[in-house]
Amino acid sequence: MVGRPPSVGAPPLVDSASSLQRTHRLRYVVVAMVLIGALGFLLFKGIGSALNFYLTVNQAVAQRSSLGNRTFNLEGLVEPGSIHTTRTGVNFTVTSGATSVVVHNVGSPPQLFQPDIPVIAVGHFSGDLFASDQILVKHSSTYIAAHPGRVTAPNGTKR
């Protein structure tokens, strides 16, 4: 029996085992790239949202336009006579030097929250107000000892 001559222009026969290996390698490369991309995205988002930084009231007001609606920690003294309980939380004014900002906090303030103490309000600017969802109260003596000169009393004296 005489075999038929090979067709002109027909593709050469490919070893199916090596083709299968290349296909598996390609799959592994694609899966690895997707995993690396997803991990990079999660790290970028996680680190970006986890970076909460502290700004005193005067620093925050000076940087208001560049802060936009980013969440940060606003540090200052609670101005005496400024605390007003609302249906959803508490409004108060924090000061640093001669600069003050009205804070609207949603939720219950901590037990130690009172006038003329250093606090940190976690939130962002919303118009002229600082919208907060958490208030942290620092013990005056320990906080001021750890950060001398960082908080200024409403009358302008360093604490």
Global pTM reads: 0.58
Two tokens at 128?
A: 């002229």
pLDDT by residue (tens digit) across 19-29? Answer: 778 888 888 88
How big is the chain by its Cα radius of gyration, in Å?
31
Residue range 35-49: mean pLDDT, rounded: 77
d(CA 120, CA 76): 7
How crowded is residue 129: how many other Cβ atoms within 10 Å of its Cβ?
Answer: 14
Rounded distance between C-alpha atoms, residue 86 and residue 142, angstroms: 30
68-80 pLDDT per residue, tens: 888 899 999 999 9
pLDDT band at residue 154 using 50, 70 and 90 as cut-offs: very low
Q: What is the pLDDT of residue 155?
A: 46
Is residue 42 within 8 A of residue 61, CB to CB? The reply is: no
* Distance (Å, whole) CA 110 – CA 136: 7
- Gap between the Cα atoms of 61 and 113, Å rounded: 23
For the segment 100-117, the average pLDDT, to the nearest whole number, is 91
